[in-house]
Amino acid sequence: MTCKCICIRHKASRGYANGHKLCNYCNLFIKWDELWCPCCGNKLRTRPRHSKYKAKLRIKKQKEKQMQKAQNKNSNIILHAQ
């Protein structure tokens, strides 16, 4: 398994929270829907290893859920008012 530099086309900014995945072999965050790297064939990481970064990701996802719930409530109130 070697890096064929195909992954550079799918390169993404850092962050698991944005839905990006990390290839440990190519050492890049990739915008990719599959579980395997298109370049080298290694399995992509979808979550951080360190507990500090896991906690940050968890907090960010909880905030996003709260924002979505608030938006849904607001849209329901507007629909019922009409």
**28 and 57 fall within a common domain:** no
**32 and 57 fall within a common domain:** no
Which residue, among 71, 51, 54, has the nearest Cα to 16 in the 3D structure?
A: 54
Helix ranges, the chain (H)? 51-81
Q: How much is the average pLDDT of 9-15?
A: 79
Residue 6's region, left for phi above 0, alpha for psi from -120 to 50, else beta, is alpha
pTM above 0.85, yes or no: no
What is the C-alpha to C-alpha distance for residues 52 and 75, in angstroms, rounded to an integer? 35
The separation between CA 40 and the C-alpha centre of its own chain, rounded to angstroms, equals 20
**42 and 64 fall within a common domain:** no
**42 and 58 fall within a common domain:** no
8: containing domain: 1-46
**18 and 7 fall within a common domain:** yes
Q: What percent of the chain has pLDDT over 70?
A: 89
pLDDT in tens, 40-71: 888 999 888 888 888 988 898 899 889 888 88
**54 and 31 fall within a common domain:** no
